[in-house]
Structure 1
Amino acid sequence: MVCEKCEKKLAKVIVPDKWKEGASNTTESGGRKINENKLLSRKNRWTPYGNTKCIICKQQVHQDAKYCHTCAYSKGVCAMCGKQVLDTKLYKQSNV
């Protein structure tokens, strides 16, 4: 649950690179090294969830959000900025 302002900040969907058209997994473009030690080059690896955690439940969150989807919906706030988006006063919600 994201507000209209934060909807523009959402990241794009991951799509595999086209073969040999600027792909990072070919040796011709300089993206992949031959006989590379993967354990040493692991520190530059991309992590989809990053290191951000939900403020309420401490669960890992994606795309630089403050709240996870479950907490954002139960509180009725935007997951990225925390602005009130939805009135959940009359909703019947449980923590189970």
Structure 2
Amino acid sequence: MVCDKCEKKLAKVIVPDKWKEGASNTTEGGGRKINENKLLSKKKRWTPYGSGTTKCIICKQQVHQDGKYCHTCAYTKGVCAMCGKQVLDTELYKQSNV
């Protein structure tokens, strides 16, 4: 659960660029090399247990996005997972920790 302001920060897309001139996955103009392993050729690779990982403030679970709360804690508290702003009123919700 993310507020409208933080929703703009979630624009990272895993899908490659469309096949057109000037895209990063074309072979012309110094783009993609043939038979290149994209995971090995990147300078900054994502490491699941590496440094730079953020943890949830409440439960200390690893957060997959840049944020303060994990999805479960953000929903139970009714706050934005990235900034902590109150998004949802959960006063009348019947929630349990089971």
Does TM, normalized by the shorter one, top 0.5? yes
Number of paired residues?
A: 96
Structure 2 CA distance for partners of 1:91 and 1:63, relative to 1, 3 Å: same
Q: Percent identity?
A: 92
Give 1:5 shift. Answer: 0.6
The 8 Å contact of residues 78 and 87 in structure 2, kept in 1 or not, is answered as: yes
Partner of 1:43: 43
1:40 and 1:13 map into 2 onto residues whose CA distance is 19
Over aligned residue pairs, what C-alpha RMSD do you find? 3.5
Deviations 1:8-39 (A, max 9, x none): 11132212467998888999988999999999
Instruction: Give the number of the structure whose residues are more often strand, by fraction.
Output: 2
Give 1:46 shift. Answer: 2.2
The 8 Å contact of residues 23 and 29 in structure 1, kept in 2 or not, is answered as: no
TM-score by length of 2: 0.66
Deviations 1:30-69 (A, max 9, x none): 8999999999999842236875111111111122110000
Secondary structure, counterpart of 1:72 in structure 2: helix
Unpaired runs of 5+ residues, structure 2, are none
